[in-house]
Homo-oligomer: A and B are copies of this chain.
């Protein structure tokens, strides 16, 4: 670990699920909407549309489309099922921006603040730049820099998304640690030469669908961002 800690110069973070709790936030915010609805089920269905929507961009069926717009397409397709067809355009636009308002996991701000003392910390998310900027402002996430798949016009796990981020940081991939709660994201980062840190977020998909600790090993394995900072301190 000491070797890795002295090699790396920057950390790039997956955001949805790794830094912020999308399911918990959407469920919680639902209480304020005063609409009888299983908000956790809406969150799950919305998120379930995420990979298929990005696949349409990756395949070329859709030209480059920002995640805000993909989120809206998915939301529109879910309105009948969830009885939300009566919402005004203004309310739908506000609902769609719930992804800008996601709350960090309890350890995230403290861990990022510790890591920032020693390293450049940046997002590397499929979320668009404005989404990530608004989220950081809202949640107090202390990023040094907002990087996004939008800057490559390629969604993770396409290699160009990772390579563009390293190039913008002016660092070789070997000096940029990819941090994520998702094994596929880390495998794709490793394929371009980045070291990898797995952070466990067992409740990402809710208390009834706990994620298990991965079978596979990554360069760093941590329970949360505070432990990650401790592991990289020495």
Contacts and interface: CB of A to CB of B under 8 A. Distances in A.
A223 B155 CA distance: 43
A21 interface: no
Interface in A82-141: 120, 122, 128-130, 133-134, 136-137
Interface in A143-198: 144-146, 150-151, 168-171
A169 to B, nearest CB: 5
Contact of A128 (B128, B144, B170): B170
A226 to B, nearest CB: 21
Q: How large is the interface on A (under 10, 10 to 19, 20 to 34, 35 or more residues)?
A: 20 to 34
A170 B171 CA distance: 28
Contacts of A169: 129-130, 133
B136 A170 contact: no
A168 B129 contact: yes
A130 to B, nearest CB: 4
A145 B144 contact: no
B144 A136 contact: yes
A152 to B, nearest CB: 11
Interface centre among A66, A68, A128, A137 (most CB of B within 10 A): A137
Contacts of A122: 133
B145 A120 contact: no
Contacts of A171: 130
A128 B169 CA distance: 9
Contacts of A137: 120, 144
B128 A133 contact: no
B150 A133 contact: no
Contacts of A150: 168
A129 B168 CA distance: 6
B129 A145 contact: yes
Contacts of A130: 168-171
A73 to B, nearest CB: 16
Q: State the 4 A-B residue pairs at the shortest beta-carbon distance, nearest first.
A: A130-B170, A129-B168, A133-B145, A145-B146
